[in-house]
Chains A and B, each alone.
Chain A
Amino acid sequence: MIFGKVMGTVVSTQKSDGVQGRRYLLVQACRPNGDLLHECHIAVDLVGSGHGEMVLLSQGSSARQTQDTYQKAVDCVIMGIVDLVEEKGQFLYQK
């Protein structure tokens, strides 16, 4: 999994085999301490994450291993909102 920050939303009415009733969020990859990286992903939001929150992204076929994305044309999901990142007893990130 990788870290990402929710930047916004992508609206699309013409989707094929998309996930109904779930938002497609624009997530920018980031470091464990929250510093933004270059790459951006569009991810199906399964946990109701809000703008600016740090989230956990899962990519590839594993993104289909959830109830809402099973056998759907999805290769990136937000599967968790990060509360805390700890390294050697140090808090790199706190919500």
Chain B
Amino acid sequence: MILAKVIGNVVSTCKEPKIEGIKFLLLEKINPTTLQGQGDYLVAMDSVGAGTGEVVFYVAGSSARMTAVTEGKPSDATIVAIVDAIEIDGAYVFQKDRNDS
């Protein structure tokens, strides 16, 4: 899984009927120690109700279809978790609602 931050939303009305009703979020991969973006963007299907600004992680490839929301859907990247905290070398580098993300 890869760490990322939800930057915004992606709306598409003219799309494959199978993916009707699924939220697409714009993610930017972030460095775990600095939590800073590296300009590496992607679009992922949301299966946990993540909101803009939240730190999440997503699965890619065929595992992206292993959630209830994306089962049988053409997804190759699905957000599977909203991160509450990241600990590195014994110290918290991120804590939800503690940092001004």
Contacts and interface: CB of A to CB of B under 8 A. Distances in A.
Task: Sort chain B's interface into a size bin.
Answer: 20 to 34
19 contacts: A8-B32, A8-B89, A8-B90, A11-B85, A12-B81, A12-B84, A14-B84, A16-B48, A16-B69, A16-B81, A17-B68, A24-B57, A40-B31, A42-B3, A42-B57, A73-B59, A73-B64, A75-B63, A75-B64
A33 interface: no
Contacts, number: 103
A75 B59 contact: yes
Nearest to A61: B62
Contacts of B42: none
A69 to B, nearest CB: 9
Interface residues of A, number: 29
Interface in A25-80: 26, 40-43, 51, 60-61, 63-64, 71-76
A11 to B, nearest CB: 4
Contacts of A64: 63, 66
Nearest to A60: B61
